[in-house]
Homo-oligomer: A and B are copies of this chain.
Amino acid sequence: MKIPTRLYLSEDEISISWYNIRSYMKDKPEPMLHPGTLQPITVADLSLIFCDESIKQELDDTSPLITIPKDLQTFYRAYRPAPLIRAYFLEKELGTPAEIYYKFEGTNTSGSHKLNSAAAQAFYAKAQGLNSLTTETGAGQWGSAMAMACAYYKLSLTVYMVRSSSEQKPYRKTLIETYGANLVPSPSSTTEAGRKILIEAPNTSGSLGCAISEAVEAAVRTESCRYVLGSVMNHVLLHQSIIGMEVKAAFDKYNVKPDIIIGCAGGGSNLGGLIAPFMGDKIRRKNDIRFVAVEPASCPSFTRGRFAYDFGDTAKTTPLIKMYTLGSDFIPSPNHAGGLRYHGMNPTLSKLYHDGYLEARAEIQSDVFDAAVRFAKVEGILPAPESSHAIKVAIDEALECKRTGDKKVILFGLTGTGYFDMSAYAAHNAKTMSDYVPTDADLAKGFASLPNIPQNR
């Protein structure tokens, strides 16, 4: 069968379930710990912070499939299935015998895959009878997605946006506000956490860690309000598994068998969602696919981090998570474009990497943008900087096939578009892009912030 440029699925072929990788793992990820008692976290510990259903999903490592609520299935159909595209033009440009496919999550207005989990979390909040949510945003994709989801479900939303980001990306701010969300540059005087930081450092440009602290504080102090998060957590990966389920359905329909699946990795939500059903099969020895996580060389959690219990935020208030981490004090270069700046990594992906199911590579920023422009010129889509990490490795693998003559089937996740990252493209065009890579001394500073607790339980 000749594969079309776009591998169609009808709405009836979209999965009505999410896929829970953990259910298939013999060695499960270790549980989150309460930072005070060092005991596994309970529903009660989390219920003032997160929505009930998110907590239930976060702690569920046995259910293989979790049904997507009907109303949410309807919402998904407004922008899904996301295009799965055979990169014929890129293959020709590279002269490779490999087949290249990409799953493109950037056709919705939030510009990325983040909407898959934003919609789910907004739906559950509404179903629980809440009327408002808080969150934080750095690069702005998650804030945009939550603003869209809350507009649809008629929930009030406050987004704590890292101050430097809200100033550098005024258009992201406008987008979030256009969808009716209340945007607060962080640190702000609206929370204890914010006021404390403003007294200590009045001119601070803010950080994701501080924005998280403000958003959590604001959620906890209001009865009908909860906090939502866009990556790292297992329930977020679960929602993102809709990506992989669609790819699997389309590949089965067109009889395509991938050899390599590549995804960019910051907190891991896109990668975890993309690979979910394929990884479940690999764990059960039903395939022999290579899975590759691609991270920025400036924030190399997998490739240079430690597998240890660590805090999720710089303020050290979250539960402890066993993950690959650079230490919660690690700060990536401010010249690093886009997201993928997080110091840690989702615990399920961390465990899979630790156990050898997943590979990882770190890429330099200029190389990533070179790949982005090469891709954009032939495939027509201007990719997000984050997504371009996956493009870089997909091109490398395709060129390796050209050298060896192998006809491998390569899939990568194209998580979003770069419309709100044009200043980074301008820097790349002007050849003023930074290629900072942390020294061992830089990393040592981050590792020094790891909590001093027994790491092997």
Residues in chain A within 8 A of chain B (CB atoms): 4-6, 8, 10-11, 74, 77-79, 85, 88-89, 107-109, 111, 115, 148, 151-152, 170-171, 174-175, 177-180, 373, 376-382, 417, 419-420, 422-423, 425-426, 428-429
Among A11, A78, A179, max chain B CB count under 10 A is at A78
| Residues on the B chain within 8 Å of A177, using CB | 426, 429
Report the minimal beta-carbon distance from A73 to chain B, rounded to whole angstroms. Answer: 11
| Residues on the B chain within 8 Å of A419, using CB | 111, 171, 419-420
Do A178 and B376 form a contact, CB below 8 Å, given A4-B10, A417-B109, A419-B419? yes
Would you call the interface of chain A mostly helix, strand, loop, or mixed? helix
Cross-chain contact B170 with A426 (CB below 8 angstroms): yes
Report Cα–Cα, A376/B181, bound state, in Å.
13
Cross-chain contact A377 with B6 (CB below 8 angstroms): no
- Copies of this protein in the assembly total 2
| Residues on the B chain within 8 Å of A108, using CB | 380-381
| Residues on the B chain within 8 Å of A426, using CB | 170, 174, 177
Pick the contact of A422: B171, B381, B425 (CB < 8 A): B171
Report the minimal beta-carbon distance from A367 to chain B, rounded to whole angstroms. Answer: 16
Chain B's closest residue to A78 (CB) is B380
Pick the contact of A377: B74, B107, B179 (CB < 8 A): B179
Cross-chain contact B425 with A175 (CB below 8 angstroms): yes
Cross-chain contact A382 with B109 (CB below 8 angstroms): yes
Pick the contact of A378: B4, B152, B373, B422 (CB < 8 A): B152
Report Cα–Cα, A316/B178, bound state, in Å.
41
Do A152 and B376 form a contact, CB below 8 Å, given A174-B425, A422-B171? no
Chain B's closest residue to A382 (CB) is B109
Do A377 and B152 form a contact, CB below 8 Å, given A4-B77, A77-B5, A429-B178? yes
Would you list 24 pairs from A and B whose C-beta atoms are within 8 A, ordered by A residue? A4-B10, A4-B11, A5-B11, A5-B77, A6-B77, A8-B10, A78-B85, A78-B89, A89-B152, A107-B107, A108-B380, A109-B381, A152-B380, A170-B422, A170-B426, A171-B171, A174-B423, A174-B429, A175-B382, A175-B425, A177-B426, A178-B382, A178-B429, A419-B420
